[in-house]
Chains A and B, each alone.
Chain A
Amino acid sequence: MTQLYPMTGGLLLPTQRAIGLKPQALTEQPPRLVFALQQRHLRYGSVVKLGQLVFANQVIAQSIGSEPIALHTGLAGQVTSIDDHSIELRTNSNMPTHKQPIPVSMTTLKHTPLAKGLRELGLLGLGGAGFPTALKIHRIHTLLINGVECEPLLVTDASLMTYHADQIIQGLYQLLTHQDIQLRRLIIAIEADKPQAITAMRQALQIHTWSLQPELIIIPTRYPAGGERQLYQQLFGEKLPAAVKMSDQGVACLNVHTLLAINNGFNGQPLTHRLVSILGNGIAQPQQLWLPIGTPISWLLTYCGALHEPLEVRIGGPIMGQRIDQRNQSITANANTLIVDLVKPTLFEQPCIACGQCEPVCPEALAPQDLIALIQSQPQQQDQQLVEQNLPACIECGVCDLVCPSHIPLHQYFGQHKSRLKHLADQQQRAQIANATYTRRQERLAKAPKPNPKPPIEASRFTPSQPLSSKANSTTKLKTNLAKAQRLYREAQAALKQAEKKGLEPTLRKVYESKVGKMHDKVQLAQTAFDTEKGRV
């Protein structure tokens, strides 16, 4: 029996999970898919053109960066709009599915990296944060499988474990056999309030013979026991400081849904669909659906029979989820639950009375009342004090909100300031690097030998055979300049036309257009100079 250490803070909450939900497939296809290109951890750039026909499982975007992660479409169709934020696709069920060839690294034990295969399959964490899986599994010696799902109301992972445990464990087994994964310890963590899931996973584990025996550990029901840093504390007894990531310690935490997607990946299927639970009192009845990523929320609400009254839609759980505008949003890889509720009246935020209820429940041992006092009073050196009070360690779990008698949306404030502080810290780091390179460059230049000054040209060597007429010289030169400017202008226009044919993003188009404008200005200047010179002569 593995010893579990206690978690700092946290609350025992009524979980109120819906029972009897089974994953189901959609009975009709959504008419269009909208792929969000700007996500929390990634930004994608389109690789398809406007009007292009795409097959199912085809790559439509790659993330921006040195090691791009692919984005696949789950349904076939035609691209109807592309911009910086989204790609829209009109689906066509008559088009055939294009089978994606299995990346070599996933099927064989050859010397090919697992991370490359995961990137090509477009695998992101499906637990709710959407972190690219390929970046997590680098040189790990302990793997945690997170089946805890501690937030109240959430049932997606529980259903997956109950009905698809075999696929999850199969994914885990295949992952273990890959030569890039050398583990010392393998732990599967499930929360205590999911007995069916626990049984199903145990049975699935017994099918395989394991080289490294996985430990199935039951985590006591508490919110937020399922956070990966909280799991780390409960399993290993150590509280990681804010700056230390789990991957630095060689530990990775994968969600069970991600494992299922990895299993699909071993069979050649990229990440295109995910299981979403649709809950709340704003729809006819709760359901669980396998949805293609990119399903518009507005269509989904109609499909589920949403009521016509004003609705509030939230992606994620009731505490950590985000309220969204349902007209424009679509299902992304991190949308594990959709909560559709009737709009309730607002409660006003009241001032903090320093009651101190928030401190004992924080799982990261922060002092929310001190932090909110710093944020609201904005003293001198606010940023430094916020960092001293360890605001970057906040995991935005929302437990402090739940106990605040003044209904202050604490974790909303903390989230805003956390990202601001991170941005400032990144800027400072870059400034330091720039300063270092600048200083090195100055030192290098100071040490470099100065070149000898060129000897002055002797005038006698260059006596021309006949003196050139100065007037003709200048006119000729200006004429040449004008011709060159006109040529460059023509070339810039041609480049713009060609680029337009290929289908351009607006920013690059602006670049080409500005080039054309600049060349045009140069032509004007050269023309004016030539004309004045000619007129003078």
Chain B
Amino acid sequence: MTTASALRSPFHQGQSTQRIMLSVIIALLPGLSIMGFINPFWLLQPLLAGLGAVIGEWFFIWCCTRQPAQASRTLMDSSALLAGLLLGLCLPPASPWWLAFIGGHICSMLGKQMYGGLGANPFNPAMLAYLVLLIGFPLQMSQWQGLYDGLTQATLLDQATVLSPAQWPGTHAFNQACLLALGFTLGGLYLLRLGIIHWVTPICLLLGFIIVQLYIDDFNVKASLLQIPVGGLIIGAFFMATDPVSAPNHRQDQIIYALGIGALTSLIRQGQQYPDGMAFAIVLMNIVTPSFISLKNALKHKRDIL
């Protein structure tokens, strides 16, 4: 006798993993369409990275199993495509095509499949791949040509030495950054509405960021708030830090996780050596995550033991 399983239950509630991944990709669409509207050239990196990720995953599984059918089946959950798209959003648009392509491969193979596939990776694959590219190809990763102004310029954060944050509002670059942030926030709200992410992570991330930023800016609220739309903060808050596999499992640990990411992002940005601290912050907190023993388990005197 075998017990009934939800494998075929008509009463299955909620979505399958594939639908969840596709919903996240749909949530990226407002931000992507704004990017495309400003400059269609910018969409190249996400698409290249996505393609690279899909091919990389298929190739890895095929190498391990030598069964093309099984490799194709692994792609069905669309997690590789999503990770590639998210990676591509962080890459400079003017970088060579092979950077995004290789980045996608690294994301799938090194960031996810090497650890055992979906559900087994300790690090956020997109952020890990971003860091590998940053350290391995520093020159290509600094080609921010044409991101905001169409001129060979660094991002707003790189310009901070020249242009102080107080002078940002009004610049073309800042307006574009705000639009993009709005687009991705809409996507994040869509995910919240669907119940795919929980409001705790983005709120705590932004909170952690604001608190440390306020301390750095000597409690100049306006200057702190200006830091939010730039860089990958909004994307990180709604799409990267909410990755269920690399984030801690329990709610109370997720709070600490998100606060830590926000705080670290703000701190690393002050270092002025990297364009954005988000990737480092996320990977650092991923390193710390296994040491979170859930508070629920720690309160063992409340648990009944047989």
| B-binding residues in A (CB < 8 A) | 11, 13-14, 152, 241-244, 314, 316, 318-325, 344, 346-357, 359, 367, 369-370, 387-390, 392-393, 396, 398, 401-412, 415, 421, 425
Contact = CB atoms under 8 A, between A and B. Distances in A.
Given A318-B10, A393-B304, A402-B13, A412 B5 contact: yes
A404 B303 contact: no
Interface stretch (B115-123, B206-214, B263-271): B115-123
B64 interface: no
14 contacts: A242-B306, A244-B304, A314-B4, A323-B1, A354-B244, A369-B249, A388-B297, A388-B300, A388-B303, A403-B12, A405-B15, A405-B16, A409-B6, A411-B5
A353 B244 contact: yes
Given A351-B119, A412-B2, A401 B9 contact: yes
Given A14-B11, A242-B306, 10 more contacts: A322-B4, A351-B120, A398-B9, A401-B5, A401-B6, A402-B6, A404-B6, A405-B17, A407-B5, A409-B7
B299 interface: no
Interface in B59-114: 73, 77
A48 to B, nearest CB: 26
B4 A320 contact: yes
A301 to B, nearest CB: 17
B305 interface: yes
Contacts of B5: 401, 407, 409, 411-412
Contacts of B4: 314, 316, 318-323, 398
Given A390-B304, A393-B304, A347 B1 contact: no
Contacts of A244: 304
Contacts of A402: 6, 9, 11-14
Contacts, number: 131
Given A354-B249, A406-B17, A319 B9 contact: yes
Interface string B227-256: 000000000000000001101011100000
Contacts of B301: none
Interface residues of B, number: 38
B154 interface: no
Contacts of B120: 351
B117 A351 contact: yes
B303 A370 contact: no
A396 B5 CA distance: 11
Contacts of B247: 354
Interface in B35-79: 73, 77
A275 to B, nearest CB: 21
A392 B17 contact: no
A409 B14 contact: no
B15 A411 contact: no
Ranked nearest first, the 6 interchain pairs of A and B with the lowest CB-CB distance are A241-B304, A409-B5, A401-B6, A351-B119, A405-B17, A392-B306
A318 B5 CA distance: 9
Contacts of B16: 405-407
A386 to B, nearest CB: 10
B282 to A, nearest CB: 16
A350 B14 contact: no
A407 B249 CA distance: 18
Contacts of A324: 1
A319 B13 CA distance: 12
B296 interface: yes
Contacts of A367: 249-250, 296
A478 B205 CA distance: 95
